Chains A and B, each alone.
Chain A
Amino acid sequence: MLARRIIPCLDCDLGVPGGRVVKGIEFKQIRYAGIPWELAGKYYEDGADEIVFLDITASHERRETMVSVIKKTSESVFVPLAVGGGIKTVAEAREVFNAGADKITVNTSALKRPELISEIADRYGNQAVVVAIDAKRRYALEDGRQIIETPQGPCWFECSYYGGREFTGIDAIAWAKRAQSLGAGEILLTSMDRDGTYDGFDIPLTDAVAKRVRIPVIASGGCASPEHMREVFQRTDASAALAASIFHFGEWNIGNVKEFLKERGVNVRV
């Protein structure tokens, strides 16, 4: 049986020479967690099942820095690497794959031009394309939307893009299904309502998407404790849980999170 995966996410600021992992923003000051490949190496040693790198600056001119980060990481990290942020074409994806990435993550570019999913999948295989969806609850119900019951009342989920700065009007559940039919191999599903709150994953959202697609769903947004991971794995069909700050702050490491989950009956690789 496939194990549930634990995936640390490295949000990278590539404007700094060599790149830095962003830990968070406090009083408008960016706080850095470390050098991307060093942190990736630590998470690998701790037992990460996969590592996601996101270029938060998502700019073309910084792709070279991302390429060097991936090259450096793949010399010493032997689990799958996924890379995202600003990839708009197969040619741009190729640069990242050639550096050693196993998967690329697309979000805004796929919402603007959905064929991008098929183009990358045709060349590199479905397993190489992760479609990231940033979903926000909308309690004003509209016809034609996938309505989901939540403890806070019925809602639908709207996709946002440009890093959560703009909204698309697109139903996130419908988009997940379409992404699958276009050839996506995985959905990285982030709850914008929970992201940064430390309140745990959005269970109704994760459950709704995981039930409606056949491809793996990675739950993201809101994780602050191993208990949140237990909850998302035992209450939904999520294949993986993604988290950043829980690992960056050092209170929990991937090893003891997995022990915690295993003791509670979650099938993880330890």
Chain B
Amino acid sequence: MIAIVDYGMGNLFSIYNALNRVSGDPKIIGDPESLASADGIVVPGVGAFGRCMDRLSRFEGSLLQAFAEGTPMLGICIGLQVLFEQSEESPGSKGLGWIKGNVVRLPEGVMIPQMGWNSLSIVRPVEMLEGIAEGDMFYFVHSYYGVPTDKSVVSATTHHGVDVTAAIAKDNLFATQFHPEKSGVKGLKILENFVRSTRC
């Protein structure tokens, strides 16, 4: 079973339907205890960083335990940003801090939010990007992006005024700034890679 963490932010149908499409056996989970039995965990998210963290905090212990135990985890959009220590979007709110560094606003002069299809540059090929080629396009909607202190966690970037972190990989954790569930067949490919990793 793949748990989709339901912390009351945004519609979960899209990711649920997309995981179903790639035979992922998804389940929407609103109770932190139930994460212990999951083979994989998806942290989705839309909305503001601070509000997400407020609502995600009751899952923090269970998520940390699953991460430490090696359960494959996938963060999407704000689900990537909350992995960082803090965000310019919500000063004073603390992120999960699993990835050292901060979330900053896209530069002035570019369209904010970045909304639409942009191409990936693969910096570090990882299992989750199997079947994805340099230049493949994915659907982004965001105004902020993560800047890790340790650049080696970045597996892909995109360009929107500056080089923007598009995907992060660290141990059993993978996270995307784009929405694989809205990125057509290439997005489904990433979800398929994730589902496969939960079956190892």
Contacts and interface: CB of A to CB of B under 8 A. Distances in A.
Given A78-B188, A79-B184, A3 B115 contact: no
Contacts of A44: 184
Given A2-B118, A78-B188, A99-B13, A127 B182 contact: no
Given A74-B17, A79-B182, A100-B17, A2 B160 contact: yes
A75 interface: yes
Given A2-B116, A269-B117, A214 B13 contact: no
Q: Which of B11, B112, B187 has the most chain A CB atoms closer than 10 A to its own CB?
A: B11
A239 interface: yes
B13 A78 contact: no
B151 interface: no
Given A78-B181, A78-B183, A3 B17 contact: no
A5 interface: yes
Interface string B150-186: 0000000001100000000000000000000111110
Contact of B182 (A5, A80, A216): A80
Contacts of B47: 125
Interface residues of B, number: 31
A47 B160 CA distance: 23
B111 interface: yes
B22 to A, nearest CB: 10
For chain A, which range describes its interface: under 10, 10 to 19, 20 to 34, or 35 or more residues? 20 to 34
B15 to A, nearest CB: 10
B21 interface: yes
B8 interface: no
B111 A214 contact: yes
A48 to B, nearest CB: 9
Contacts of B141: 127
A269 B115 contact: no
Given A78-B21, A125-B46, A2 B111 contact: yes
A3 B118 contact: yes
Contacts of B160: 1-2
Contacts of B184: 44, 47, 78-79
Contacts of B119: 1, 3
Contacts of A75: 17, 20-21
B30 interface: no
A181 B21 CA distance: 39
B11 A98 contact: yes
A105 interface: no
A5 B11 contact: no
B114 interface: yes
Nearest to B109: A214
B137 interface: yes
B11 A97 contact: yes
B59 interface: no
B61 interface: no
Given A2-B111, A44-B184, A127-B113, A80 B139 contact: yes
B18 interface: yes
A1 B137 CA distance: 10
B96 to A, nearest CB: 21
Given A49-B116, A97-B11, 14 more contacts: A1-B159, A1-B160, A2-B111, A2-B114, A2-B117, A3-B116, A3-B137, A44-B184, A75-B17, A75-B21, A78-B18, A98-B13, A99-B13, A125-B47
25 contacts: A2-B114, A2-B115, A2-B116, A2-B160, A5-B117, A47-B184, A49-B116, A49-B117, A74-B13, A76-B21, A78-B17, A78-B18, A78-B181, A78-B183, A78-B184, A79-B184, A80-B139, A99-B13, A127-B113, A185-B113, A185-B115, A215-B111, A239-B111, A239-B116, A269-B137
